[in-house]
Amino acid sequence: MRRRWNVSLWLGFVVVLGGLFSYVYFAQFPMTRDFPWLNLLLIGVGLVLLATGLFRAFGNPRLYRGKISGSILAVISVCLVAFFCYEIFFVLRDVPASAGAPRMGENAPAFTLPDQNGKQIALADLLSPHGAILMFYRGHW
């Protein structure tokens, strides 16, 4: 008897990859960037499909293919998902304590810095009657 193609293995792998790489897209929106629930959901669905495929391959090898390919796909998926989780739950949260940052009620330290056109701008220049927002960012790359 010809064994069946183990479709859930490959589908699961593709869904896991989709869940990982779509982070670049979903990270544009605060709703899906603050906590990447949509990516984790996709990854979860992909892993369940992969696991189903593996159970079929090992539980019913006469009917389904995929003992070797399924194992390889599963190992690759688990490594990629582990790396993703490490980045999301550890690297992104690894920010300095900034205990010495100015607090509410304190004076904002003065500065004079060039803007994108080379014009020198001091904190005092920014303090209109409306006040000013200072937005420190990581930079653009």
Partner 1 sequence: MVAISVDPAADSHRLAERMHYTFPLLSDADAATIRRYDLLHPHAGPKHEDISRPAEFYVDQNGIVRWVNLTENIAVRARPEQALAAIDAARHGAQ
Instruction: Give whichever of 62 and 128 is closer to partner 1, judged by the CB atom.
Output: 128
Is 127 exposed, middle or buried (CB count within 10 Å of its CB: 0-12, 13-18, 19+)? exposed
Question: What's the min distance (Å) between Cβ of 91 and partner 1?
Answer: 9
The residue ranges that bind partner 1 (CB under 8 A) are 27, 30, 33-34, 36, 88, 92-93, 95-96, 98-111, 113-119, 121, 123-124, 126-141
Instruction: Give whichever of 59 and 114 is closer to partner 1, judged by the CB atom.
Output: 114
Question: What's the min distance (Å) between Cβ of 20 and partner 1?
Answer: 15
Asked if 36 contacts 27 with a C-beta cutoff of 8 angstroms, the reply is yes
Instruction: Give whichever of 3 and 125 is closer to partner 1, judged by the CB atom.
Output: 125
Using the Cα atoms of residue 51, residue 56, residue 59 and residue 62 in order, give the sign of their dihedral: negative
Three-class DSSP category at 123: helix
